[in-house]
């Protein structure tokens, strides 16, 4: 299961070029083959869907129709950008759910000599593929330069864990996938409860004040919890938290210097690649300080402890994640 | 298919009902009557009548009179569904001296007038169906109801308030009850509560006298730390196997002094009674007023069973009652009726990650709070934060956690609104804190419930109408530092609010027991898609099931408050006693019989019976049907390749004749 | 009685037109199955929304207005334009209503009725669409540039700094990319524009 039909998305060649560079390095190490959809078009982001329905879905469906024509592996399309991923999977899902929509979209596609049967492709996000196909054990085995000493805030953003039609992630609000991946790279993952909060999306252009507040919440919390760096899976999130951080600072009169990079960049580093090779230096808020922390001993425990203390008095209830882990352990140990 | 040119052998009376206008508005009732009179005389119809309300006493009298005066040998009533009035007309016929199974009711209401609008079509269909039943009834046989004796013992499964009530009522009536409870003590969830709404009675104070009464009643055998493992038989005659799990305590010698508990060096988190909020020893009684008061040794956690050391309990026991070699005991009992009062499980709120239960320290579940508020609980009744000492200054109580939610449980859990109001009162009483309540609707319907709501408003509780979206510990402004922030839309104002509190109490929904389905299968009853046990009729028969002899009471059939559970326990008891007092139970004679001469012993039917009513007789090489268990479903009849099985009430002759009638030209 | 011409707010006794079929219309026109008729007004959506503070009506209130047939107020509302598509609401909604899809639907309805409010979003979307329909790919420089020039000229200096930063790090291309199958895409989109969801 190493071949994927690949939908890069417009940002990979523009603002998210570091994502592209690091993905090319990482895929080689993991032995993945990415077959780009021939002549793919823009997915429409969140703009098209807000102006029309059939044209918006047809725009997305052209990509699905083209992908379906490529005979690769078990017909899995992989998209690294969260918005692209959600658009593709949503079009597939809604076309299947609503026969009216499916019919109309195919009518439009027919005008271009194309057709798409909803459900004929599996659509996955890059992170999902790493966790569930490649597996953490494999990733761990490829780590030659563990990121020990670097404190990372895992910021997943909103469109990957939600609405999660295919139930590929562990939770809508507090999924553990990105945390687990970063730990496999040797990094020190901080407790970051805002991991699926929205970055503001296109509000950065349309309603900046709203966006600045959302960016501020994310960046300030990472800083308060002594993160050295944030990672994300989405070019929009990276753009908002990185390129718009200076704007946010001037709006609030703050001075945050929280670098944010793509998670594949950290993967590349851990796999032994050069920082520049995986796109470091492309971020506007420099990650130099964070990179310097790798291999440095962790600061004294008192300073590194997160704000929330473990309660002394009454016992805590087991959360669903702990119960799931306990059940899996029980099965592993073969106890009744 | 016989040609009815010769004198018909039966005299049939046909009665077509108007049912007010329910039937006559769509079906031409007189037309049907006339048609039957004219066209079915050859089949034996001697009289056809129509009447406004056949089920009325005058309507029934019509039938009785005709039977006596015209010597009718068969009766066909065309009216509503047999579910409703088959019994009525069969009884009327019986009163006039005609075997009830020679009367048939054909539905021209539910199957015709209530589902068709075209009058011509409806009338034609009515004629067809009546003709079918007329031809069928000629082949009916006079049948007698089966009588089986009833064992006067009863099994009650579940020692919570509903089970205890049922057991006491039956025992007080003079009959023996086996009361089986899976936990070490009677009491159920009610024993965990602090106060009960709306009276604010202390739960243990009203429950424990009942527990003691049940525990000491001469007619009740209490079996705690026990489970039912097998059930076979049928109404009046069940054989039940009960596993009495090993306590490692000899009940003959134990005085309940509690020294073993005191001396036990190991503590574990009490996940059951203390809802995970407190600890217990490895050898323990769940609470001070446990009935019976014999401790239980938690073997999986015991140092002796793990490593072979310790044995402190055995050392210190003054009566030598500790027995590490004690085995599970298997008991077999015979009972006539079984009442399942197995209760509910609490919704696991950690499934709603947006509420942070299990991650954020100061978010509590409803049962955790009950234990905290209870003066004999892990905090001695002090309402405190998870650190065990700080009193909260603001508290938020959230309704509908895991209820009324398609993502978890679609149903409303019936008790949470009242429970949340009760919590508000308790919090205020213990701490004087500011209390917020977050609700979607206020459901306070029963006696004194709405007055209780008004009392809580009067006490100064702040009500916010909005389902809480999330609970966060990430502050956005300085005022939110160090607090839990409840983010909610105050729908009455139309704005999103972030309300900082110290503590959050969730009103978790009630769910069916995790093993309800398996337990149901054991007893031969089904669960609805929701997972609750299904009652025979949701309005008119809430404590019986479709399986004769198995009854349900309390939360096992759906969320309800204590008065409703008590009422159901009592209702189930009354039903059981009514059966016991009849000494025999009558079973409908509609069932399969096997012609043993035709049976080749192929045994194809043996595995098909859904009611386990088929037995293979080894020495004769034939299969036999147990008429008491057989429900007449017809599966074996259809399966038999030799046609050796026939169904009384559904013979081939009857069915083929009915088809003939239906296909008659109208 | 309907509101007289020139009177933009109803005065005592005069009611705005109600379109009681509105809820159903919106539900049918939404992509997928929306379930918006099932709303029990619990407020989870309004409570979850990260931009609720900036909306004139919370999502829940908007659905109540849909139910009341207040077509004009709904289409004038800035609520759908404030939606950031974070999907918090839909995963928490106890009736599993596809709220973001309803928001997209309302946006397109507002544009069609020419009733979109103060938001610059419709214009932004139109510019974006223009780029995609010309090149088949989004063109960030063109989009951002045009948007700031037409709506936020005062921010241009600050944006220029950011733009310069992005440009020097090769994260922004000056020239738009174009797909080969532009004719095919055009044919598809032209056909799509003639089709309606509710037919």
pLDDT at B6: 63
Whether B480 maps to a domain, the answer reads yes
Q: Which chain A residue lies closest to B386 (C-alpha atoms)?
A: A314
CATH assignment of the domain containing A117 = 1.20.1050.140
**pLDDT tens track for B338-387:** 999 999 999 999 999 999 999 999 999 999 999 999 999 999 999 999 99
Domain end call among A57, A92, A127: A127
Whether A236 maps to a domain, the answer reads yes
Cα angle: C158, vertex C164, C169; to 5 degrees: 135
Query: Among positive and negative, which fits the CA dihedral C59, C60, C66, C71?
Result: negative
pLDDT at C117: 63
**pLDDT tens track for A208-266:** 899 999 999 999 999 999 999 999 999 999 999 999 999 999 999 999 999 999 999 99
Give the start-end residues of each E strand in B33-132.
45-51, 74-79, 103-107
Which residues are CB-contacts of B544 (< 8 A; sequence separation ≥ 6)?
B535, B536, B550, B551, B552, B572, B575
**pLDDT tens track for B23-52:** 999 999 999 999 999 999 999 999 999 999
Residues in chain A, overall count: 336
Domain end call among B122, B143, B164: B143
Percent of chain B with pLDDT over 70: 99
Q: Are residues A184 and A266 in the same domain?
A: yes
Q: Are residues C28 and C85 in the same domain?
A: yes
CB contacts of A52 in chain C (<8 Å) are 108, 192-193
Among candidates C40, C44, C61 on the partner chain, residue whose Cβ is nearest the Cβ of B469: C44
Sheet holding A3-6, edge to edge: A33-36, A3-6, A76-79, A122-125
pLDDT at A46: 85
pLDDT at C144: 79
**pLDDT tens track for B646-663:** 888 888 889 999 999 999
Whether the pLDDT of residue C18 is over 90: the answer is no
Q: Are residues B63 and B158 in the same domain?
A: no
Q: Do C124 and A206 touch (CB under 8 A)?
A: yes
Q: Are residues A66 and A152 in the same domain?
A: no
Query: Up-side HSE of residue B552: CA atoms within 13 Å toward CB?
Result: 29
Q: Are residues C30 and C87 in the same domain?
A: yes
Mean pLDDT rounded to a whole number for chain A: 90
Whether the pLDDT of residue B294 is over 60: the answer is yes
Q: Are residues B614 and B520 in the same domain?
A: no
Residue C88 Cα, gap to closest chain B Cα (Å): 9
C96 at interface of A, judged by CB pairs closer than 8 A: no
pLDDT at A306: 54
ipTM of the complex: 0.88
Domain end call among A83, A98, A127: A127
Which residues are CB-contacts of B468 (< 8 A; sequence separation ≥ 6)?
B355, B396, B398, B438, B486, B487, B488, C44, C47
- What does the buried/exposed string (b/e) look like for A240-264 if buried means 16 or more CB atoms within 10 Å of the residue's CB? bbbbbbbbbbebeeeebebbbbbbb
Burial label, B37 (beta-carbon count in 10 A; 0-12, 13-18, 19+)? middle
Q: Do B466 and C49 touch (CB under 8 A)?
A: no
Q: Are residues A179 and A238 in the same domain?
A: yes
pLDDT at B377: 95
Q: Are residues A108 and A161 in the same domain?
A: no
- Mean pLDDT to the nearest integer, B487-512: 97
CATH assignment of the domain containing B175 = 3.50.50.60
How far is Cα C25 from Cα C61, in angstroms, rounded to an integer? 18
pTM check: above 0.90: no
Q: For chain A, count helices (H), then strands (E).
A: 15, 8
Q: Which residue has the tokens 């205890």?
A: B164
Chosen for mutation from B409, B469, B476 (greatest number of chain C CBs closer than 10 Å) is: B469
Whether the pLDDT of residue B665 is over 90: the answer is no
CB C101 within 8 A of CB C30: yes
Q: Are residues A122 and A164 in the same domain?
A: no
Whether C96 maps to a domain, the answer reads yes
Q: Are residues A221 and A113 in the same domain?
A: no
Q: Are residues C30 and C57 in the same domain?
A: yes
Q: Is A28 left (phi over 0), alpha (psi -120 to 50) or beta?
A: alpha
Domain end call among C63, C78, C112: C112
Q: Are residues B215 and B351 in the same domain?
A: no
Residue C71 Cα, gap to closest chain A Cα (Å): 18
Q: Are residues A120 and A186 in the same domain?
A: no
Among candidates B354, B407, B467 on the partner chain, residue whose Cβ is nearest the Cβ of C43: B467
Q: Do C94 and B406 touch (CB under 8 A)?
A: yes
Q: Are residues B478 and B354 in the same domain?
A: yes
Q: Are residues A122 and A167 in the same domain?
A: no
Chosen for mutation from B355, B494, B499 (greatest number of chain C CBs closer than 10 Å) is: B494
CB contacts of C94 in chain B (<8 Å) are 400, 404-407, 467
How far is Cα B275 from Cα B271, in angstroms, rounded to an integer? 5
Strands B550-552, B614-617: parallel, antiparallel or unpaired by DSSP?
unpaired
Which residues are CB-contacts of C38 (< 8 A; sequence separation ≥ 6)?
C95, C97
Whether B665 maps to a domain, the answer reads no
- Mean pLDDT to the nearest integer, B394-411: 97
Query: Up-side HSE of residue A59: CA atoms within 13 Å toward CB?
Result: 28
pLDDT at C6: 59
Q: Are residues B334 and B198 in the same domain?
A: yes
Cα angle: B408, vertex B412, B414; to 5 degrees: 135
CATH assignment of the domain containing B628 = 3.30.70.20
CATH assignment of the domain containing B65 = 3.40.50
How far is Cα A261 from Cα A228, in angstroms, rounded to an integer? 11
Q: Are residues C134 and C178 in the same domain?
A: yes
Whether A290 maps to a domain, the answer reads yes
How far is Cα A319 from Cα A310, in angstroms, rounded to an integer? 15
Q: Are residues B104 and B120 in the same domain?
A: yes
Among candidates B353, B379, B386 on the partner chain, residue whose Cβ is nearest the Cβ of A174: B353
Q: Are residues B366 and B501 in the same domain?
A: yes
CATH assignment of the domain containing C66 = 1.10.1060.10
Whether the pLDDT of residue A270 is over 80: the answer is yes
Q: Do C91 and B465 touch (CB under 8 A)?
A: no
Among candidates B405, B466, B494 on the partner chain, residue whose Cβ is nearest the Cβ of C57: B494
Could you give the residue ranges of the DSSP H alpha helices within B611-662?
635-639, 652-662
Q: Do C136 and A113 touch (CB under 8 A)?
A: no
Chosen for mutation from A205, A215, A236, A283 (greatest number of chain C CBs closer than 10 Å) is: A205
Q: Are residues C141 and C104 in the same domain?
A: no
Whether B250 maps to a domain, the answer reads no
Whether A133 maps to a domain, the answer reads no
pLDDT band at B497 (very low <50, low <70, confident <90, very high): very high
pLDDT at C158: 79
Whether A187 maps to a domain, the answer reads yes
Domain count, chain B: 5
Q: Are residues A149 and A290 in the same domain?
A: yes
**pLDDT tens track for B57-71:** 999 999 999 999 999
A40 against B626, higher pLDDT:
A40
Whether the pLDDT of residue C199 is over 70: the answer is no
Whether A72 maps to a domain, the answer reads yes
Chosen for mutation from C43, C63, C77, C90 (greatest number of chain B CBs closer than 10 Å) is: C43
Whether the pLDDT of residue B5 is over 60: the answer is no
CATH assignment of the domain containing A291 = 3.40.50.11810
Which residues are CB-contacts of A59 (< 8 A; sequence separation ≥ 6)?
A41, A42, A43, A44, A48, C132, C185, C188, C189, C192
Domain end call among C95, C112, C129: C112
Domain range for residue C99? 22-112
Whether B654 maps to a domain, the answer reads no
Percent of chain C with pLDDT over 90: 44
Whether B7 maps to a domain, the answer reads no
Whether B288 maps to a domain, the answer reads yes
Q: Are residues B130 and B94 in the same domain?
A: yes
B295 against A51, higher pLDDT:
B295
> Tokens at residue B235, please?
């109404």
- Mean pLDDT to the nearest integer, B484-490: 97
Q: Are residues B484 and B363 in the same domain?
A: yes
- Mean pLDDT to the nearest integer, B94-106: 95
Residue C156 Cα, gap to closest chain A Cα (Å): 12
pLDDT band at A335 (very low <50, low <70, confident <90, very high): very low
Whether A132 maps to a domain, the answer reads no
How far is Cα B374 from Cα B15, in angstroms, rounded to an integer? 66
pLDDT band at B562 (very low <50, low <70, confident <90, very high): very high
Whether A334 maps to a domain, the answer reads no
Q: Are residues C54 and C104 in the same domain?
A: yes
Domain range for residue A208? 144-296
Whether C92 maps to a domain, the answer reads yes
Q: Which residue has the tokens 């939360």?
A: B555
Q: Are residues A108 and A213 in the same domain?
A: no
Whether the pLDDT of residue A300 is over 50: the answer is no
Whether the pLDDT of residue A3 is over 80: the answer is yes
Q: Are residues C94 and C168 in the same domain?
A: no
B379 at interface of A, judged by CB pairs closer than 8 A: yes
Which residues are CB-contacts of C126 (< 8 A; sequence separation ≥ 6)?
A51
Domain count, chain A: 2
> Tokens at residue B420, please?
């949340």
Q: Which chain C residue lies closest to A113 (C-alpha atoms)?
A: C184
Domain range for residue B107? 12-143
Q: Do C51 and A214 touch (CB under 8 A)?
A: yes
pLDDT at B404: 97
Among candidates B279, B365, B386 on the partner chain, residue whose Cβ is nearest the Cβ of A311: B386
Q: Which chains touch B (3 or more CB pairs under 8 A)?
A: A, C
Domain count, chain C: 2
Q: Are residues C104 and C142 in the same domain?
A: no
Whether C1 maps to a domain, the answer reads no
Q: Are residues A182 and A292 in the same domain?
A: yes
Q: Are residues C39 and C98 in the same domain?
A: yes
Q: Are residues B423 and B535 in the same domain?
A: no
Give the start-end residues of each E strand in chain A.
3-6, 33-36, 76-79, 122-125, 151-154, 188-189, 229-232, 260-262
Domain end call among C83, C112, C141: C112
Q: Do C91 and B407 touch (CB under 8 A)?
A: yes
Whether C7 maps to a domain, the answer reads no
Q: Are residues C30 and C105 in the same domain?
A: yes
Q: Are residues A33 and A163 in the same domain?
A: no
**pLDDT tens track for B142-161:** 988 888 899 999 999 999 99
Among candidates A193, A313, A319 on the partner chain, residue whose Cβ is nearest the Cβ of B386: A313
Q: Do A317 and B365 touch (CB under 8 A)?
A: yes
Phi, psi of B547 (to 5 degrees): -95, 120
CB contacts of C61 in chain B (<8 Å) are 491, 494
**pLDDT tens track for B235-290:** 898 999 999 999 999 999 999 999 999 999 999 999 999 999 999 999 999 999 99
């Amino acid at each position: 299961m190493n071949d994927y039909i690949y939908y890069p998305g417009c940002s990979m060649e523009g603002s998210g070029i570091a994502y592209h560079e690091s993905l090319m390095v990482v895929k080689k190490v993991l032995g993945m083959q990415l077959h780009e959809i021939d002549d793919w078009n823009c997915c429409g982001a969140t703009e098209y869907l807000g102006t029309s329905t059939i044209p918006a879905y047809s725009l997305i469906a052209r990509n699905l129709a083209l992908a379906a024509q490529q005979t690769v592996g078990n017909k899995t399309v992989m998209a690294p950008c969260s918005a692209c991923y959600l658009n593709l999977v949503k079009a597939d899902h809604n076309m299947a759910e609503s026969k009216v929509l499916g019919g109309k979209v195919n009518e439009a596609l027919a005008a271009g000599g194309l057709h798409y049967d909803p459900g004929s492709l599996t659509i996955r996000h890059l992170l999902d593929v790493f966790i569930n196909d490649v597996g953490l054990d494999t990733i761990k085995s490829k780590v030659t330069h563990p990121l020990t000493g670097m404190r990372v805030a895992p910021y997943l953003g909103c469109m990957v864990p939600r609405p999660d039609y295919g139930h590929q992630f562990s939770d809508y609000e507090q999924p553990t996938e990105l945390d687990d991946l970063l730990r496999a790279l040797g990094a020190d993952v901080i407790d970051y409860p805002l991991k699926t909060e929205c970055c503001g999306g296109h509000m950065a252009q349309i309603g900046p004040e709203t966006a600045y507040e959302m960016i501020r919440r994310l960046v300030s919390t990472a800083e308060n919890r002594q993160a050295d760096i944030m990672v994300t899976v989405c070019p929009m999130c990276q753009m908002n938290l990185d390129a718009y951080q200076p704007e946010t600072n001037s709006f609030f009169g703050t001075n945050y210097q929280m670098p944010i990079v793509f998670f594949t960049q950290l993967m590349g580093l851990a796999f032994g690649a050069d920082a520049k090779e995986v796109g470091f230096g492309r971020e506007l808020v420099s990650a130099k300080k964070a990179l310097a922390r790798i291999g440095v001993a962790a600061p004294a425990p008192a300073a590194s402890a997160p704000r929330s203390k473990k309660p002394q008095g009454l016992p805590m209830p087991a959360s669903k994640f702990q119960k799931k882990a306990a059940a899996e352990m029980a099965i592993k140990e073969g106890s009744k | 298919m016989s040609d009815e040119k010769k004198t018909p052998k039966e005299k049939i009376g046909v009665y077509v009902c108007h049912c007010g206008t329910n039937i006559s508005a769509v079906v031409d009732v007189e037309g049907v009557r006339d048609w039957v009179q004219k066209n079915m005389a050859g089949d034996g119809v001697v009289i056809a009548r129509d009447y406004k309300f056949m089920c009325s006493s005058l309507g029934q009298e019509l039938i009785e009179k005709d039977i006596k005066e015209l010597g009718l040998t068969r009766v066909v009533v065309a009216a509503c569904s047999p579910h409703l009035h088959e019994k009525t007309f069969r009884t009327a016929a019986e009163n006039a001296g005609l075997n009830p199974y020679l009367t048939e009711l054909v539905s021209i209401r539910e199957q015709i007038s209530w589902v068709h609008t075209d009058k011509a079509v409806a009338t034609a269909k009515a004629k067809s169906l009546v003709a079918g039943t007329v031809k069928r009834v000629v082949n009916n046989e006079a049948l007698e109801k089966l009588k089986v004796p009833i064992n006067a013992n009863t099994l009650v499964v579940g020692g919570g308030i509903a089970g205890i009530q049922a057991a006491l009522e039956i025992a007080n009536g003079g009959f023996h009850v086996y009361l089986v409870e899976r936990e070490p003590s009677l009491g159920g969830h009610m024993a965990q509560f602090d106060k009960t709404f709306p009276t604010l009675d202390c739960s243990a104070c009203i429950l424990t006298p009942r527990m003691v009464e049940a525990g000491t009643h001469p007619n009740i055998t209490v079996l705690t730390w026990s489970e039912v493992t097998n059930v076979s038989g049928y109404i009046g005659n069940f054989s039940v196997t009960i596993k009495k799990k090993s306590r490692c305590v000899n009940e003959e010698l134990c005085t309940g002094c509690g020294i073993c508990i005191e001396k036990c060096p190991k503590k574990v988190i009490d996940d059951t009674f203390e809802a995970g909020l407190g600890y217990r020893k490895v050898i323990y009684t769940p609470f001070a007023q446990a009935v019976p008061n014999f401790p239980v040794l938690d073997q999986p956690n015991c140092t002796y069973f793990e490593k072979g050391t310790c044995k402190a309990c055995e050392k210190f026991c003054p009566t030598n009652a500790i027995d590490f070699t004690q085995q599970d005991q298997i008991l077999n009992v015979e009972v006539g009726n079984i009442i399942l009062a197995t209760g509910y499980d609490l919704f696991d709120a950690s499934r709603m990650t947006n509420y942070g239960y299990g991650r954020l320290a100061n978010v509590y579940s409803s049962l955790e709070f009950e234990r905290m508020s209870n003066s004999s609980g892990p905090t001695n009744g002090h309402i405190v934060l998870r650190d065990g000492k700080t009193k909260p200054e603001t508290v938020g109580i959230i309704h509908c956690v895991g209820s009324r939610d398609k993502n978890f449980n679609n149903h409303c859990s019936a008790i949470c609104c009242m429970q949340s109001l009760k919590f508000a009162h308790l919090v205020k009483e213990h701490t004087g804190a500011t209390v917020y309540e977050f609700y979607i609707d206020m459901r306070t319907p029963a006696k004194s419930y709405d007055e209780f709501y008004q009392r809580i408003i009067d006490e100064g509780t702040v009500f916010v109408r909005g389902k809480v979206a999330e609970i966060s510990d990430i502050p956005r402004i300085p005022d939110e530092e160090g607090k839990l922030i409840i983010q909610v839309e105050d729908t009455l104002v139309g704005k999103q609010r972030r309300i900082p509190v110290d503590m959050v109490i969730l009103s978790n929904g009630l769910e069916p027991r995790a093993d309800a389905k398996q337990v149901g299968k054991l007893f031969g009853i089904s669960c609805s898609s929701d997972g609750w046990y299904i009652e025979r009729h949701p309005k008119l028969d809430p404590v019986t099931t479709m399986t004769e002899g198995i009854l349900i009471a309390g939360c096992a059939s759906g969320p309800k408050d204590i008065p409703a559970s008590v009422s159901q326990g009592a209702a189930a008891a009354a039903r059981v006693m009514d059966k016991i007092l009849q000494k025999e139970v009558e079973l409908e004679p509609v069932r399969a019989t096997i012609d043993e001469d035709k049976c080749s012993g192929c045994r194809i039917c043996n595995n098909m019976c859904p009611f386990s009513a088929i037995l293979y007789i080894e020495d004769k090489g034939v299969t036999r049907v147990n008429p008491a268990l057989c429900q007449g479903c017809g599966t074996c009849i259809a399966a038999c390749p030799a046609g050796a099985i026939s169904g009384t009430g559904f013979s081939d002759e009857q069915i083929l004749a009915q088809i003939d009638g239906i296909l008659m030209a109208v | 009685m309907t509101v007289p011409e020139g009177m933009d707010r109803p005065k005592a006794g005069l009611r705005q037109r109600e379109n009681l079929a509105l809820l159903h219309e919106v539900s049918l026109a939404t992509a997928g199955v929306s379930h918006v008729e099932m709303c029990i007004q619990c407020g989870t959506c309004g409570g979850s929304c990260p931009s609720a503070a900036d909306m004139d009506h919370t999502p829940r209130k908007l659905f109540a207005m849909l139910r009341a047939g207040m077509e004009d107020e709904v289409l004038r509302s800035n609520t759908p334009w404030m939606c950031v598509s974070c999907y918090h609401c839909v995963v928490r909604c106890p009736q599993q209503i596809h709220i973001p899809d309803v928001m997209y639907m309302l946006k397109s309805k507002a544009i069609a009725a020419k009733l979109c409010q103060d938001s610059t979003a419709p214009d932004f979307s139109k510019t974006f669409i223009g780029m995609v329909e010309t090149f088949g790919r989004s063109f960030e420089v063109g989009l951002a540039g045009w948007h700031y020039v037409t709506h936020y000229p005062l921010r241009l200096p600050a944006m220029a700094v950011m733009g310069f930063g992005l440009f020097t790090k090769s994260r922004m291309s000056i020239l738009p990319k174009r797909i080969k199958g532009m004719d095919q895409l055009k044919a598809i989109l032209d056909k799509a524009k003639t089709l309606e969801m509710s037919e």
